[in-house]
Amino acid sequence: MFLHSLLIHPRLILKMLLLLTCANGMPVITKDILRDRIVVPVDGHAKWVDGRPLFGASKTFRGVFFSVLATSLCAALLGLSWKMGVLLASVAMAGDLLSSFLKRRLNLPEGAKATGLDQVPESLFPLLACQHALSLTVLDIILTVALFFAGELLLSRLLYRFRLRDHPY
């Protein structure tokens, strides 16, 4: 059992990276395409007991919807169940909402950089949710999170250069 947890599955890691990129990138792409249309904040502009927004206006149902839709299609194209795509994207979006919630508690404005907090929950949580169904090992998860972390920092700067992202981090 222990030796099994040390195995690495490169093709599965690549598929997970593609799905995580799709899930977390789709809200950014959707925002660029749809601009001010269909913008309904997940928190409904609610405030937490500290008087700050629960998540912030940038976290929308539109972003969540298109993340789940695109990731389910991407999963099917990669030979996985579309349901796996729904699960992965849903949990990635929940991780992103948790990050936003924590950033608001830390009094960080929307779009503020919080290295680690911006990448880990939206990659680690979905991988843990899919771990048993996809037979992901501990090393698969660690490598995928590390690669997603590094890739997201690099890709974010590229998206900023092409004006698809508001902040270059």
- Helix (H) / strand (E) element for 131: namely helix 121-134
Predicted confidence at residue 162, as pLDDT, reads 77
Predicted confidence at residue 164, as pLDDT, reads 65
Predicted confidence at residue 10, as pLDDT, reads 94
Residue 65, token pair as written in the block:
């919807």
**Spatial distance between the Cα atoms of 124 and 146, rounded to a whole number of angstroms:** 10
58 closest CA partner among 124, 105, 112: 112
Predicted confidence at residue 157, as pLDDT, reads 79
**Rg of the chain's alpha carbons, rounded to an integer?**
16
Predicted confidence at residue 45, as pLDDT, reads 95
Predicted confidence at residue 156, as pLDDT, reads 77
Predicted confidence at residue 169, as pLDDT, reads 62
Could you tell me how many residues make up the chain?
169
What residues does each domain of the chain span? Answer: 11-34+49-161
Predicted confidence at residue 168, as pLDDT, reads 66
Residue segments in the chain with a per-residue pLDDT below the cut of 50: none
Burial (CB count within 10 angstroms: exposed 0-12, middle 13-18, buried 19+), residue 13: buried
